[in-house]
Structure 1
Amino acid sequence: MKKKGIAMLTNSMDGFVLKQINYNDYEVSFRRWLVHQIDDGKMSLDEVRDRFHLNPQEYRRIISKWQERYSDELHLSLSLMNSKERADNKQLEARIKELEKQLEYAKMKDIAMNTLIDVAETEFKISIRKKAGSKQ
């Protein structure tokens, strides 16, 4: 609409209609091919959305449904770890290594003690270990 040579903007959205897409119209072979492309990493979800003009609000839900039906792979929705969780994970891994070293040291100490007891019993003929079934 023009008024005295000035272009006027209107709030009317005439001519702009949100097109409803019926996702059941896509052939099963296309769905399988698309899921395979996504699973193999050949296409990202955003590339699929843009290339095939999928609804920006619905495309993730539709593709996840198709993946459930047509994918050979198991899809788990695991979120990525944030930096705090990664730091906690590194702390836990360090703690595990520390405990493994302590366990190895305890095992070596046990072997050394048993060897010491064996040598003492044979060399000095001293009964150190408790006999099974004996009463104190």
Structure 2
Amino acid sequence: METKKTSEFKYERAKKSDRYPREIIMEAVRLAESGVMLKDVASLYGMSGITLNKWMTRYSSPDYHPITNRSYKPSVKRSVLRAIESGMSINEAATSFGITSGVVIRGWIKKASEENADLSAIIPMKKPPKENLNPTDTKALEHQLAEAQLKIRALETMIDIAEEQLKIDIRKKSGAKQSPK
């Protein structure tokens, strides 16, 4: 097996089927752990990103965790979506909630909008005629609406906490069959 090392640390194999020596594997893992971008390390050693990801999974230290499929609790998802609704950007929300990518949050937004579209299709909202409302009534209704929304958020949070602590599903699953009477 003939291998050679060229300038700028570029490593080349004689044949693609040749295996990388253990020293090269560990050197690539150390480089990636030190903060060098994975794509740069992969191109430096002439390998695919998939190969490097496998090495990182096998040989990296316990402190290093490559990007993996992470799952987030429903309460975290709702908190992120509420923060975005209140004016926070997707990147700011990702940073403040410790989410790896804005793509994840965009998926949550899409899913939530699809679910809300289903609800709005079921219950069409009609605007009341403007002539019957005076400004004081409007202010009172807006205040009641804000209180109702706050109460709903508090109840959802309480359900999330109860689900996590009791480890049971409290919310009814959509499409679930009713039990026979």
Task: Give the structure-1-normalised TM-score.
Answer: 0.38
Q: Name the larger-Rg structure.
A: 1
**More contact order relative to length (CA 8 Å, sep ≥ 6):** 1
TM-score of the superposition, structure 2-length normalised? 0.30
